[in-house]
Amino acid sequence: MNEWNEELEVIMERMKAAKDVLDASLGSLILFRDNRYDTGQFGVITDGLFEQFQMPDLVLGNIPYYMFGMTEEHANLLELIATYMYARKDEITFKADMTLGIEGQEFLLKDYEGYALEIVSNQEEVPYCACCEAGEHVGE
């Protein structure tokens, strides 16, 4: 991702201003059942970036049921990325196949139904899955 060529104080002021606008403009996160998967997976999506600011909404999908209680962590990640996107909207066009570096982790942005970007881990696929090997799914 493009680095900010500004002093830390300026960056923090821009992020605070962006957060204030988004807090006053966006609805609550929408929790949904992620039907792309056979097991009990869920997702979280922002509400209003696309409609109000012509920016892609953000999605975290494929959240296992047992992790769904950690919604606050998911919300914090979406809020951080949405704030960053809004603060940099005049400098960067956020789109699918971009990689975001946040707190030492990398996330890939993927297209989600044409109006949103899904935030996914950039880690390699796991080479072995016991469920797939057994030809069955767990969870439901």
pLDDT tens digits for the chain (140 residues)? 467 888 999 999 999 999 999 999 998 888 888 888 877 788 899 999 999 999 999 999 888 877 767 667 888 889 999 999 999 999 999 999 999 887 788 899 999 999 999 999 876 555 556 566 666 655 44
pTM: 0.80
Domain containing residue 110: 8-134
Query: How many domains, the chain?
Result: 1
Question: Does 61 map to a domain?
Answer: yes
Question: Does 1 map to a domain?
Answer: no
> What pLDDT, on the 0 to 100 scale, is given for residue 130?
59
Q: Please give the structure tokens belonging to residue 57.
A: 């909404």
Q: 3-state class of 134 per DSSP?
A: helix
Measure the CA angle with vertex 29, ends 113 and 17; round to 5°.
105
Cα distance between residue 17 and residue 36, in whole Å: 36
Question: Does 34 map to a domain?
Answer: yes
The length of the chain is 140
Question: Does 70 map to a domain?
Answer: yes
Question: Does 122 map to a domain?
Answer: yes
